[in-house]
A and B are shown apart, each in its own frame.
Chain A
Amino acid sequence: MGMLTFKRFRGGVHPPEKKLTSSEPIKVAPLPDKVIVYMQQHAGAPAKPVVEEGQQVKTGQLVGEAQGPISAYVHSPVTGKVIAVTKVSSSVHGTMVEAVVIERTGEDQWELLPKIDFERATKEELIDHVRLAGIVGLGGAMFPTHVKLNPPKPVDTLILNGAECEPYLTIDHRIMLEKADEIILGVEIVKKILNVKKVYIGIETNKRDAIELLTKKWKSSVEVVPLPTRYPMGAEKQLIKFITGREVPSGGLPADVGVLVQNVGTVLAIKEAVIDRKPLVERGMTLTGEGVKKRGNWWIRIGAPISWVIEELGGGFVDGYEEIKVLMGGPMTGIPISSLDTPVLKGNNGITVIPEQKRNSTNCIRCSYCVQVCPMNLQPYLLDLLARKKKYDDAAEIGLLDCIECGSCSYICPANVEHVKSIKLAKKVYRSLRGGKR
């Protein structure tokens, strides 16, 4: 695959894979006694709470209503009593967010979604059902799935993302191994919604068993594409380019090249919503890293506090660390949380607990490593320079908004320049100066 790989996937890095939990079956986590359900667990407008303090709620009951076209419903992950509807400081969002806090009073009593006959339902009915289930992209982007399933342009290709190129994380790997039959049902639903014929699944070659299993099980219905184990192979644009050869235009969407990408976990959630009538209140998650005692893959309720996750599921922090990093996600793009009260969110594919690595930083020495590894073919050193000089227009001209924030540049940088940090900040400032327009 040498030449083809080079042509279709440029740059990237190969950090230590550290898939510590790839042979741990996904276990069902016990129910947390308290959940903190953020009203903003998706891209777009926050949901509005529709429950009051003191109210009894069932598992799956609506607690937050979507606001506006790009937003998502939020449901109660447990059966219990609402003890607060309040604003909490979120270290993930960096601002205050509204949250519904629920104390569990017993075992699950489900409030299921309305019945839908998948065979007979129309495309619109299916999309609406996904909307009611509050499903968002579970790979981490948390974009509302019902919006994504209604692309502005017709698509002819569906790609399932099973790359899982982030080091440490193994939940997608386990889901593919354990839920192959369920995922394929989800694929049928999505195929019906999009009316596409061609379906691919991309899986990195460090997951041989999943590649073999799905090739055997799914036969010709889905083409299994082995991907080089190279970060960020699972980034949407890179994945599309590698599998189809199509290049999503700058500032455009996958639909511009007739493609739609779904994470395997999201497709599984779609199946559960349509067939089992379950809204999105639980997800698969990897708890991993050298800083936590027990590592594993879990089916976990959304809203479970991370302090509880680390104590109950992880057996606590490994002794001897005075300071540590708790990441929502993997080590390349994960968000470090500043408070263990932060709950598990819908897009939370993993919690990675790792000690801080020492960073000796100097000025940029122009080694050009960052230019070589950038999968978007940008010049990270120059973006960083312009961003720090507040020359946002100049930065935009050389691709500020094209940066996918994968972190390959900072990973490889011998001078430990914080390209991603300054690029993220510059994007924010540039967008606000431009009134939110691209």
Chain B
Amino acid sequence: MKLLTSPAPHIRTADSTADVMLDVLIALSPAVAAATYFFGLQAFILSIAGMISAELIEFFIMRVLRKDKNFVPNGSAAVTGLLLALNVSVATPWWVLLIGVLFAIAIVKHAFGGLGQNIFNPALAARIFLLVSFPTAMTTWYPPIGKFFGTYADIQTTATPLAVLKLEGFNSAMQKFTYTDLLFGNIGGCIGETSALLLIIGFLYLVLRGRIKIVIPATYLGTVFAISSIMYLVNPEKFGTPLFHLLAGGMMLGALFMATDMVTSPMTLKGQAIFGVGCGLITMLIRYFGGYPEGVSLSILLMNAFVPIIDRYTQPKIFGRRKS
């Protein structure tokens, strides 16, 4: 009988990093389903392609470049790949998505040390990278065609609700889109930014599984609600309603799935609150006064950069020590 002496504790939860990642993928699946329903098979193909290419690139980096013979895929790359796919237009060429995935995994994630070491959310950083590199592809939106095998070659492009708000005002936006459209996803936009409702359902799954830093979406959405309420009172036509801001654009995808990325968000509850408020504040500043109609991605990336300093200044009070 061989006696084993690995360190205490000798029992562990059966949980693993792969389980965490699998839960995130499960939580995103309703949004993928909605995207497939509204935008057709192409949306589904891009989602799957994002996941598979991300895992393959990571596998190559770990096994070949970083010479880790024991590396086993854990699903974290797939999460990044899927999130990036959900962040592009359905008409995005496959090779543009591939470049984005390569940037996310190789540069944003592995150049910073790999799993758990990256400062910035890889999917968001890659989205911004693509936005700068392929501005046309990344800002050309199509309306949902509702046809499974449909192509977009002869479909008229459309504007996103936020772009309409910015260029034409709130009344015009409300003539083109109803709140119901926003809630269910019957709008033009990124693949995954369409149905707020299905994103919320996926989010609730993560809450149930204890997989989410719940303070972040609470404070993020709370801040957006508070600011947009005030601005609505100032000028409803120019700034739109709070509900509109909560449902439109990447708000739900960003607040529920991007800002809550474990690796790139703060570790303490207080830190998560600061992070959430910061995201909300910057998002609304960009939406109201920035050059882009949408500010979710940039705001989260900016706050990512503050995470180390937030962690540093929100350390919990140690048992038995006075508040310092």
A positions within 8 Å CB-CB of B: 10, 15-16, 91, 167, 237, 241, 247-252, 317, 321-327, 331-340, 352, 354, 356-357, 359-360, 362-368, 371, 375-379, 381-382, 398-399, 402, 405, 407, 410-416, 418, 420-421, 424
Q: Please provide the 6 A-B residue pairs with the shortest distance between their CB atoms, ordered closest to farther.
A: A407-B9, A363-B116, A421-B7, A323-B2, A250-B320, A336-B5
Query: Contacts of A248 on B, CB cut-off 8 Å?
Result: 320
Task: Say yes or no: A249 contacts B12, CB within 8 Å.
Answer: no
Task: Say yes or no: B5 contacts A333, CB within 8 Å.
Answer: no
Query: Contacts of B115 on A, CB cut-off 8 Å?
Result: 362-363, 365
Q: How far is the CB of B80 from chain A (nearest CB, A)?
A: 12
Which B residues from 258 to 317 make CB contacts under 8 A with A? 262-265, 267-268, 315-317
**Assembly CA distance A262 to B119 (angstroms):** 48
Query: Contacts of B6 on A, CB cut-off 8 Å?
Result: 325, 336, 356, 359
Q: What count of chain B residues pass the 8 Å CB interface test?
A: 41
Task: Say yes or no: A332 contacts B267, CB within 8 Å.
Answer: no
Which of the segments B17-25, B33-41, B177-185, B234-242 contacts the partner chain? B17-25
Q: Which of A91, A332, A360, A414 contacts B10 (CB 8 A)?
A: A332
**Assembly CA distance A364 to B11 (angstroms):** 19
Q: How far is the CB of A401 from chain B (nearest CB, A)?
A: 10
Task: Say yes or no: B10 contacts A325, CB within 8 Å.
Answer: yes
Q: Which of A167, A250, A357, A415 contacts B321 (CB 8 A)?
A: A250
Task: Say yes or no: A250 contacts B3, CB within 8 Å.
Answer: no
Q: Which residue from chain B places its CB closest to the CB of A421 in the assembled complex?
A: B7
Task: Say yes or no: B12 contacts A357, CB within 8 Å.
Answer: yes
User: With contacts A249-B320, A362-B116 known, is A15 near B2, CB below 8 A?
Assistant: no
Q: Which residue from chain B places its CB closest to the CB of A249 in the assembled complex?
A: B320
Secondary structure call for the B interface: loop
**Assembly CA distance A237 to B320 (angstroms):** 9
B positions within 8 Å CB-CB of A: 1-13, 15-20, 72, 74, 76, 114-117, 211, 213, 262-265, 267-268, 315-321
Instruction: Identify the interface centre among A248, A365, A376, A398: most chain B CB within 10 Å of its CB.
Output: A365
**Assembly CA distance A29 to B26 (angstroms):** 54
Query: Contacts of B1 on A, CB cut-off 8 Å?
Result: 317, 321-324
Task: Say yes or no: A333 contacts B74, CB within 8 Å.
Answer: no
Instruction: Identify the interface centre among B8, B12, B114: most chain A CB within 10 Å of its CB.
Output: B8
Q: How far is the CB of B305 from chain A (nearest CB, A)?
A: 15
Q: Which of B13, B74, B117, B318 contacts A250 (CB 8 A)?
A: B318
**Assembly CA distance A332 to B17 (angstroms):** 21
Q: How far is the CB of A279 from chain B (nearest CB, A)?
A: 31
Q: How far is the CB of A5 from chain B (nearest CB, A)?
A: 16
Task: Say yes or no: B17 contacts A359, CB within 8 Å.
Answer: no
**Assembly CA distance A81 to B60 (angstroms):** 67
Query: Contacts of A323 on B, CB cut-off 8 Å?
Result: 1-4
Task: Say yes or no: A414 contacts B2, CB within 8 Å.
Answer: no
Query: Contacts of A416 on B, CB cut-off 8 Å?
Result: 12, 16
**Assembly CA distance A398 to B320 (angstroms):** 13
Task: Say yes or no: A334 contacts B316, CB within 8 Å.
Answer: no
Task: Say yes or no: B319 contacts A414, CB within 8 Å.
Answer: no
Query: Contacts of A326 on B, CB cut-off 8 Å?
Result: 3
Task: Say yes or no: B318 contacts A402, CB within 8 Å.
Answer: yes
Q: How far is the CB of A48 from chain B (nearest CB, A)?
A: 30
Query: Contacts of B18 on A, CB cut-off 8 Å?
Result: 360
User: With contacts A325-B4, A360-B18, A414-B20 known, is A399 near B116, CB below 8 A?
Assistant: no
Q: Which of B4, B10, B19, B321 contacts A334 (CB 8 A)?
A: B10
Query: Contacts of B9 on A, CB cut-off 8 Å?
Result: 331-333, 407, 410-411, 420
**Assembly CA distance A411 to B17 (angstroms):** 14
Instruction: Identify the interface centre among B114, B116, B319, B320: most chain A CB within 10 Å of its CB.
Output: B319
**Assembly CA distance A235 to B17 (angstroms):** 29
Q: Which of B8, B264, B318 contacts A407 (CB 8 A)?
A: B8
